Amino acid sequence: MLKRLMLAIVDSEDIEALHVLVPISNDSLHKFVAALARNSPKTHIVGLSYTAELLRGNLFELLRTVRSTSGTLRALSLDKLLISQGTIVSGLAGLFAARHAKVTSISYLPLVDDAPKRRGGPARIKWHIKRLLYRMPDEYVTLNDHLRKKLGALAPRTRAITLENYVDDRFCETTLTKSAARAALDLPDDGTYIVAHIGRLNFRQKRQDFLMRTIERHEMAFAKTLVLIIGDGEDAQCLEEIVKGSPALSARVKLLGPQKDVLPFIIASDTLVLPSAYEGVPLVMIEAVLAQRPIVASRVSGLDSYLPESMLFPADDQDAFVKCIFAARGIQVGTLSQDFKQRFSREVFNTKAQDMLRRHT
């Protein structure tokens, strides 16, 4: 979404110059910004020698980086600094540098923390630190009203604006059929019920381990079912070991790794699943519905504002999860798909992004 936001900014007539500070080691993003700079005279690339990961846990390096980055910000004479933050603790160098250089900072934040359930211990100390960090940006841009309200509680004096994602029209305009998709992907088309999970392999957030436990516990319910796991991430090897170590999972789960184009896999599936512990606005949810496929999701992070009750289950209820998965084959998503097509279009995104920038300049 960061790339799409940059394109919207470049298209805005109100922006005279866009300076993009991007880590040199992030090859994909650096190439994207370099190409953008070549094609847009108002765009300029500034290479950074560090990433958030390299600075994590290294206070001395963080302080050194903040000083050097604040000097860069002053030299650029910026009106605003938009900082892309996965969470409030990433992108700290940018936040601190903006404060040090006295440049207005806007945090583009897709995830907002919840307070820990335990009252004491290290988790509580970290939470108090995070609460202070949430008050550092001058403004926020986030993905939906649920997250905006959470930010309002954490930083009540900081303005927060909602900017929802958009998805390419090809997901709702494809002519690919389920049978053709299954044939192209060498998947069975003999009545097998195909369920897909698409996303980063991260047990803490995406909970593929919860999905595996659910299949094992309800082995008979998944007797004529194939579950596709598409994606890569830090828990890829662990997931592979879990599947290999279980006869029930080995017979029903197919690990496909990351895929450049997920559309054929969505079309080939009967339903998709998203048993996450928390979410922002998952693109796969929008993509699935636009492609006329139901997606069964845990009722977390305000996802009930996007999906009907029939596609939601209590996050830790395996029985309800299984019931929703197999009831999904009877759900018609045509009306919801039309709503998503209007709500998550590129035109709507660009208009809102440029209106936001006009208010910020």
Domains and CATH numbers, the chain: 2-166+345-360 (3.40.50.2000), 170-343 (3.40.50.2000)
**What is the residue type of 161?**
I
pLDDT score of 267: 98
Cβ(43)–Cβ(36) under 8 Å?
A: yes
Residue 157, pLDDT score? 95
Looking at residue 120, its pLDDT comes to: 72
**In terms of C-beta density within 10 A (0-12 exposed, 13-18 middle, 19 or more buried), how is residue 272 classed?**
buried
Q: Which two tokens stand for residue 309?
A: 């009750």
Interior angle at CA 64, CA 62 and CA 68, nearest 5: 115
- Residue the block writes with tokens 């993905």: 143
**Radius of gyration of the chain, Cα coordinates, nearest whole angstrom:** 22
How many helices (H) and strands (E) are present in the chain, helices listed first? 17, 12
Neighbours of 339 (CB within 10 A): 13
In this predicted structure, what is the pLDDT of residue 20? 97
The total of other beta-carbon atoms located within 10 Å of residue 123's CB is 12
Contact (CB, 8 A) for 254 and 179: no
Residues of the chain under the 70 pLDDT cut: 358-361
Using DSSP bridges, classify how beta strands 193-198 and 271-274 pair: parallel, antiparallel or unpaired: parallel
SS3 of 319, please? helix
Quote the CA–CA distance of 213 and 224 in Å, as a whole number: 17
Please tell me the predicted confidence (pLDDT) of residue 168: 87
Token code pair at residue 262: 């997920």
pLDDT for the residue 123 = 84
Rounded Cα distance, 313 and 322, in Å: 9
Please tell me the pTM assigned to this model. Answer: 0.87
pLDDT score recorded for residue 325: 98
Give the per-residue pLDDT at 76: 96
Question: 140: which strand partners?
Answer: 107, 160
Give the pLDDT of residue 359: 60
Residue type, position 104, single letter: T
Query: Which of 250, 270, 203 is closest to 231 using CA atoms?
Result: 203
Give the per-residue pLDDT at 246. Answer: 98
Q: What are phi and psi of 224, to 5 degrees?
A: -115, 50
**Amino acid letter at 97?**
A
